[in-house]
Structure 1
Amino acid sequence: MKKNTYLILLFISLSAVAQQKVPFTKPDTVQLMTEVVIKGFESDKRLLETPVSAGTVSRRDIQRFSNASLVPAINIVPGVRMEERSPGSYRLSIRGSLLRSPFGVRNVKVYWNDIPFTDAGGNTYFNLVDQNSIRLIEILKGPAGSMYGANTGGVVILHSDEPPLQENIAQKHHFRAQINGGSYGLFGENVQWQYQDKNISSSLTQSHLQSDGYRQNTRLRRDVLQWNGSARLSEKDKLDWILMYADMYYQTPGGLTLQQMQADPRQARPATPTAPGAAEQKAAIYNKTPFAGLSNQYKFNKHWSNTTSLMLAYTDFKNPFITNYEARKETNVGLRTKMVYHTVTGRHDLKFIAGMEWLYNYSAINNYGNQRGNADTIQFRDKIWARQLLPFLQGEWQLGKKFQLQAGLGTNFFVYHYQRLTDLDDSKKKKRLDEQLLPRVAGLYRITDNVSLYASVSKGFSPPAIAEVRPSEGSFYSNLQPEYGWNREIGLRGKLWKNRLLFDITAYHFKLQDAIVRRINDTGAEYFVNAGGTDQKGVEVFTEYILVQNSVTFVRTAKLWTSITLNDFSFTDYSIDDKDYSGNALTGVAKTIWSGGFDMSTAYGLYLNTSFTQTSKLPLNDANGFYAPSYQVLLARLGWKKEFNAFSIELFTGIDNALNQLYSLGNDINAYGNRFYNPAPGRNYYGGLIVNL
């Protein structure tokens, strides 16, 4: 495909027979975020009624953009930052920096419904997730060790998109197909079949995405086949499942210096007198992962219930890098179970939860020399075993409609073994990290029916991930210690003016000890150290205002929204290599991020979604000697929906980076040679077609 083209393919062939067509949704109804039901911490209540700092990303939010990346939708949530250094290379942080995440997702626990998706080694392959299979993304901010074990960042819960089980419902089939394309060789297609009757609800999705990329050596290809669903086994017994196979390949262009980015932002990392370039070495990621998860919910009686979830996954991972070629085979097993007791006595609503989560990872990791993308001479051959055990307890007391109290306690047992088969001493070595008690206490007071005040205190604990103990350059860092800290926060949320205005305001203070920080050696290889501590103060604000709701005029719905993140993050007691960084601003964190937008739909099916984001400058190294400049990003999507008797269609087109800003969406912090920058695409366009049957 030619680059810089505007691709809209307007032909789809569907062949399907349905016993009963699914009724189509009428023109969009604007739903305030406070009406979304939060599942985290076993709340199962509306956000307005939950003492949890949380953000949500709905399917509607995801479809506000190009349908090619989750990044712009997730970045709407204040306090949350998702980056994409090159197509497919996701990074995610919640209320923190990306000090620990050169690529991938660490220090954040991820679940599919109630099924663990993060492995025992502390890593999550978030880029394998197909956004077309997601109904809702729930983001719990701050330490959540009282119920979810090892993390100081927070928790992400992915809710799959099969329809809810309903009694006395006839068989229904729903078919959906989408095709989209855009600049820089972007092309995607997905097909989905949903089935529903009174005992079974399921969703089968096939998805393909490819792109040539904006920069040299940034080609992407991802194929995902996924089947998720629910089955009512009896009046008391329900089974949920997810079966997924993902095959992903993306090239990694490497970081540029400021001068290189300004001279030619589309180039890959060039060769130097001592090292070849990224394109020459065919630097890339190859990931093939089958994932299976089962979750059984059984109600013994009106008071007692149990949910038990099982996860199995295998990953074949290859990473030709500039300095070496890493081949990794990972086997992951996970089990999570919880007993719930729930009773209501007068004005007292009591719930008690006791459970545990067990995770196991076995990784066989081989490092070779890299000969232009081919594995050469063996350098290291290693085996690593990791186990985590996370017991937890929680109680919840609801007193009438006004007051709610949650109190929980968990801990995290983490043990890993490692063995280097290429050493003379190839004996298996063991490292057990000291566990800590992880309490959380949270309370909520309903000031009025529509306004709530909440507060919480919690402790987080995060052991180093396997990729930090044994980074890609091959050394073992067994002295690396867990990071831990206390978080305190208070928030006010609600809706006013006849439910037209939503507001959610949170202030927090998080003090982290033994923070894990990424460093780079003179060959460009990464390693990690404990950096003393950090002091993190922040304010998060999200508001929505409905201008028009279900009007019979030309403009059917319209709303304004804004998201504000204010960060005051700094290092404390941080000295390394005779350099004292205490008091410096935390690397990779912008002090202010502001987003806002306008959404509108009309009686004739036309709709418009706009989004503008302003990000302030941010430090690129611990010494604060280099800063990435501030930047502004404007995005917009224009579409048309039309419903017919048996099907509906949607045509859409859009623009990303409309202001054609030169910026880096994912900096390589503390990069050797000042190669900090990964330029994001310039102004680009996309379009597509969706058919529902």
Structure 2
Amino acid sequence: MKTNLFILFLLVSSNAFAQSAVSDTIPALSEIVIQGFETNRKLLETPVSAGVITSRDLQKFSTVSMLPAINMTPGVRMEERSPGSYRLSIRGSLLRSPFGVRNIKVYWNDIPFTDAGGNTYFNLIDQNTIGQIEILKGPGSSMYGANTGGVIILHSNENQFDADKHDADSHQLQAQVSGGSYGLFGENLQWKYTGKKISSSFTQSHIQADGYRENSRLRRDVVQWNGAAQLSGKDKLSWILMYADMYYQTPGGLTLQQMNDNPRQARPSTPVIAGAKEQKAAIYNKTPFTGLSNQHVFNEHWSNTTSVTFSYTDFKNPFILNYEKRYETNVGVRTKFSYHKVLGIHDIKITTGAEWQYNYSVINNYDNKGGVADAVQYKDKIGARQVYPFIQGGWQIGEKVQLQAGASTNFFTYHYQRLTDVDDAKKKKVLNEQLLPRFAALYRITKNLSLYSSVSKGFSPPSIAEVRPSEGSIYTNLKPEYGWNYELGFRGKTADSRLQFDIVAYQFKLQDALVRRTDNNGAEYFVNAGGTDQKGLEFSAGYTVIQRNEGFVRSLQLSGSATLNDFRFTHYQVNGKDYSGNALTGVAKHIYSGGIDMRTAPGLYLFSSFVYTSKLPLLDDNTVFASPYRLLSARLGWLKKINALSFNLFAGIDNALNQLYSLGNDINAAGNRFYNPAPGRNYYGGIAINF
């Protein structure tokens, strides 16, 4: 079967790598455009702490995961407890995310991807459909609603059309097949079409793996259609249609002794509780997602962008302690009006609008009898509604100064009904709204140097998964977390753009922080932890050593980043224990990364990266720490063009130093089962064709 697919792809077409590999230079700060906070300006001109990951960055690593590329971004950490089980945090927002993505707002272009319940199924996204990932660090509540961690904007990878310049239709066929250690196999097919007034990208992908550990198999199938069309001189419609069918097993956490004895085992059974393998612990997720966005230009000053979204998730989770079935319906609308006026040296832009989202979830819990739903434990209906209006003004004064000021407020309500209770009346909880301002400024010291600063307030209510965690209790006493963020940054480049750098210092004071805890059986629940004081320093730089059109080595580039964290609880007491002053659980104090990117005249290329992560506390009392680890990876390939056909043959190695480490620790875990061992030294390879 795999051999037949391999031959088919060789005969058809291949991956977007060949297209992006034409560019041999690190994108300059003067070229990267930031769209977040309605800036639409080059990074060097933007008062925002941001990380940008291009499709070329994604293709420097394995072809099936965004994780290694994202983890090269300072202040951002992506974890994978087992294949497909992703977690994502920005500046330590992992406290409340045992799995999935919470406290971060995710958009696909202008379309909300995060649901009203506060959850994002980031693991459903196929990286081959992404042209650029824009990460806005720090609270984005002034424009993007409930979050204290930050905002991620995914940009589609379809080609951009220009009605004035595009004369003929064009088609681009791409395909890729790859395989690797532990039964890894992936394939991707993509067709791009660009016409005079329309562009689209249709993608089909499949990934499967046996997994490094017992009970850690993965299968994911995604079909997606992105596009944009110029409907008239005033209207441009964009869309995303996606269907994802994902299954992955969850092996569970191990103690340190169990990990050292056999890191490939699943959580074993005890005399009281069956293990992950015996209970067939896994996640089944089937989700269709639809988003439409229309931009209407009224005149040279006024425009409106309105987006609508709908998704439905059929979610099943046979877990060690129970079997959960969840059916989620999500709808949302986001609209914004923009006014733009240039008066001499003054460039003024005002944006105002609102976002409304609604989530309705039917959540049923059963006893888990060896992977089969048995007796009923609970049956619930839970809904969440978020509404927030926002306004922001931007003022560019000449070439030197840019000012931004914005604010929003929030209206968050959830209702719940326990059908298995005698009192099955519907109950309602309304959270108090807050004013969420943001102020930012940038000063261009020279043409190539900028100083920027911002002050912002973030707000994040408990998600449905925290109000009603998997063990079945409903926690109506949880309060939203909120806090103020202060940051100062300095970025720039040399005149020849060979050296580029970005450095930012920040302090985030969070109140009523939501923190995950577990009971004696390992069932999770959440508490408000009082406050945290999060101080950090982030640095990134890139240097082009060689860039020429002759000689064997055509380009050689070095990159590096550093994340320095001093995160502490300020006042945190639980069950009579005081953890005030302790380091924030699950956050490493130091993370350093570096990379080498080399290309040669014959088409040979080498990408290599190194990441060091320091020890991090696993318990709130700071008595247990995960050991530091060092990850070395490399990808060697050969890119060859024959007329209109491009071949990309590649092979790579991950964890070349064969480190024993946990990429995704279960913090505050019962029985000290903190560790989810990541694969040891492993290999991958594949071929991609494009024409």
Q: Same fold (TM over 0.5)?
A: yes
Kindly indicate whether residue 86 of structure 2 is the aligned counterpart of residue 87 of structure 1: no
Aligned match of 1:19: none
Q: CA deviation at 1:554?
A: 1.1
Question: Against the structure 1 CA distance between its residues 192 and 110, is the aligned structure 2 distance closer, same or farther, given a 3 Å change threshold?
Answer: same
Q: CA–CA distance in 1 between the matches of 2:10 and 2:212?
A: 31
* Residue in structure 1 matching 2:97, options 101, 118, 122: 101
Aligned residues: 685
Q: CA–CA distance in 1 between the matches of 2:552 and 2:206?
A: 37
One-letter identity of the residue aligned with 1:98: L
Q: CA deviation at 1:12?
A: 2.4
* Local SS of the residue matching 1:99: helix
Q: CA–CA distance in 1 between the matches of 2:378 and 2:601?
A: 64
Aligned match of 1:267: 265
One-letter identity of the residue aligned with 1:108: I
Q: CA deviation at 1:171?
A: 0.3
One-letter identity of the residue aligned with 1:176: Q
Aligned match of 1:583: 581
Q: CA deviation at 1:34?
A: 4.7
Within 5 A, what are the aligned runs for 1:353-368? 353-368=351-366
Q: CA deviation at 1:411?
A: 1.2
Q: In 2, are the aligned partners of 1:151 and 1:462 still within 8 Å (CA)?
A: yes
Question: Against the structure 1 CA distance between its residues 50 and 428, is the aligned structure 2 distance closer, same or farther, given a 3 Å change threshold?
Answer: same
Aligned match of 2:524: 526
Kindly indicate whether residue 196 of structure 2 is the aligned counterpart of residue 192 of structure 1: no
1:107-133 CA-to-partner distances (Å, cap 9, x unmatched) read 000000000000000000000000000
* Residue in structure 1 matching 2:63, options 62, 67, 71: 67
* Residue in structure 2 matching 1:384, options 357, 382, 385: 382
Q: CA–CA distance in 1 between the matches of 2:454 and 2:463?
A: 27
Aligned match of 1:77: 73
One-letter identity of the residue aligned with 1:602: T
Within 5 A, what are the aligned runs for 1:28-39? 28-39=24-35
Q: CA deviation at 1:548?
A: 1.3
* Local SS of the residue matching 2:636: strand
Q: CA deviation at 1:14?
A: 4.0
1:367-400 CA-to-partner distances (Å, cap 9, x unmatched) read 0000000100011000001100011000000000
Q: CA deviation at 1:551?
A: 3.1
Kindly indicate whether residue 286 of structure 2 is the aligned counterpart of residue 291 of structure 1: no
Within 5 A, what are the aligned runs for 1:535-684? 535-684=533-682
* Local SS of the residue matching 1:35: coil
Q: CA–CA distance in 2 between the matches of 1:108 and 1:233?
A: 33
Q: In 2, are the aligned partners of 1:353 and 1:393 still within 8 Å (CA)?
A: yes
* Local SS of the residue matching 1:590: coil
Aligned match of 1:56: 52
Q: CA–CA distance in 2 between the matches of 1:418 and 1:281?
A: 29
Aligned match of 2:145: 149
Within 5 A, what are the aligned runs for 1:186-225? 186-225=184-223
* Local SS of the residue matching 1:98: helix
* Local SS of the residue matching 2:9: coil
One-letter identity of the residue aligned with 2:68: P
One-letter identity of the residue aligned with 2:326: R
Q: In 2, are the aligned partners of 1:605 and 1:641 still within 8 Å (CA)?
A: yes
Q: CA–CA distance in 2 between the matches of 1:165 and 1:477?
A: 50
* Local SS of the residue matching 1:72: helix
Question: Against the structure 1 CA distance between its residues 218 and 23, is the aligned structure 2 distance closer, same or farther, given a 3 Å change threshold?
Answer: closer
1:167-187 CA-to-partner distances (Å, cap 9, x unmatched) read 231100000000000000000
Aligned match of 1:5: none
* Local SS of the residue matching 2:424: coil
Q: CA deviation at 1:558?
A: 1.1
Within 5 A, what are the aligned runs for 1:107-506? 107-167=103-163, 168-169=165-166, 170-506=168-504
Aligned match of 1:12: 9
Q: What's the TM-score, normalizing by structure 1?
A: 0.97
* Local SS of the residue matching 1:669: coil
Q: CA–CA distance in 2 between the matches of 1:126 and 1:139?
A: 14
One-letter identity of the residue aligned with 2:9: I
Q: CA deviation at 1:166?
A: 1.1
Tell me, which stretches of 5 or more residues in structure 1 are unaligned? 3-7, 17-21
Q: CA deviation at 1:236?
A: 1.5
Q: In 1, are the aligned partners of 2:93 and 2:149 still within 8 Å (CA)?
A: no
Q: In 2, are the aligned partners of 1:383 and 1:419 still within 8 Å (CA)?
A: yes
Q: CA–CA distance in 2 between the matches of 1:368 and 1:115?
A: 35
* Local SS of the residue matching 1:12: helix
Q: CA–CA distance in 1 between the matches of 2:657 and 2:674?
A: 23
* Local SS of the residue matching 2:586: coil
Q: In 1, are the aligned partners of 2:648 and 2:688 still within 8 Å (CA)?
A: yes
1:91-146 CA-to-partner distances (Å, cap 9, x unmatched) read 01101141100000000000000000000000000000000000000000000100
1:525-547 CA-to-partner distances (Å, cap 9, x unmatched) read 10000000000000000000011
> More deviation in 465-474 or 91-100?
91-100
Q: In 1, are the aligned partners of 2:58 and 2:66 still within 8 Å (CA)?
A: yes
Q: CA–CA distance in 2 between the matches of 1:342 and 1:163?
A: 27
One-letter identity of the residue aligned with 2:272: T
Q: CA–CA distance in 2 between the matches of 1:688 and 1:179?
A: 6
One-letter identity of the residue aligned with 1:357: E
1:222-265 CA-to-partner distances (Å, cap 9, x unmatched) read 00000000000112110000000000000000000000000000
> More deviation in 29-38 or 252-261?
29-38
Q: What's the TM-score, normalizing by structure 2?
A: 0.98
Q: CA deviation at 1:15?
A: 4.9
Question: Against the structure 1 CA distance between its residues 97 and 111, is the aligned structure 2 distance closer, same or farther, given a 3 Å change threshold?
Answer: closer
* Local SS of the residue matching 1:302: coil
Q: CA–CA distance in 2 between the matches of 1:228 and 1:105?
A: 23
Q: CA–CA distance in 2 between the matches of 1:480 and 1:451?
A: 45
* Local SS of the residue matching 1:41: helix
Q: CA–CA distance in 2 between the matches of 1:611 and 1:307?
A: 40
Q: In 2, are the aligned partners of 1:218 and 1:252 still within 8 Å (CA)?
A: yes
Question: Against the structure 1 CA distance between its residues 15 and 538, is the aligned structure 2 distance closer, same or farther, given a 3 Å change threshold?
Answer: closer
1:483-534 CA-to-partner distances (Å, cap 9, x unmatched) read 0000000000010152100000000000000000000001111000000000
Q: In 2, are the aligned partners of 1:387 and 1:416 still within 8 Å (CA)?
A: yes
One-letter identity of the residue aligned with 2:393: G
Aligned match of 1:510: 508
Q: In 2, are the aligned partners of 1:658 and 1:683 still within 8 Å (CA)?
A: yes
Q: CA deviation at 1:165?
A: 1.7
One-letter identity of the residue aligned with 1:331: T
Q: In 2, are the aligned partners of 1:97 and 1:587 still within 8 Å (CA)?
A: no
Question: Against the structure 1 CA distance between its residues 187 and 495, is the aligned structure 2 distance closer, same or farther, given a 3 Å change threshold?
Answer: same
One-letter identity of the residue aligned with 1:403: V
* Local SS of the residue matching 1:467: helix
Q: CA–CA distance in 2 between the matches of 1:97 and 1:485?
A: 13
Q: In 1, are the aligned partners of 2:264 and 2:677 still within 8 Å (CA)?
A: yes
Report the aligned-residue RMSD: 1.6
Q: CA–CA distance in 2 between the matches of 1:388 and 1:86?
A: 32
Q: CA deviation at 1:23?
A: 8.8
Q: CA–CA distance in 2 between the matches of 1:26 and 1:637?
A: 17
Q: CA–CA distance in 2 between the matches of 1:162 and 1:311?
A: 20
Q: CA deviation at 1:550?
A: 3.5
One-letter identity of the residue aligned with 2:153: I
* Local SS of the residue matching 2:252: coil
Q: CA–CA distance in 1 between the matches of 2:283 and 2:289?
A: 18
Question: Against the structure 1 CA distance between its residues 185 and 235, is the aligned structure 2 distance closer, same or farther, given a 3 Å change threshold?
Answer: same
Q: In 1, are the aligned partners of 2:20 and 2:55 still within 8 Å (CA)?
A: no
Q: CA–CA distance in 1 between the matches of 2:181 and 2:270?
A: 31
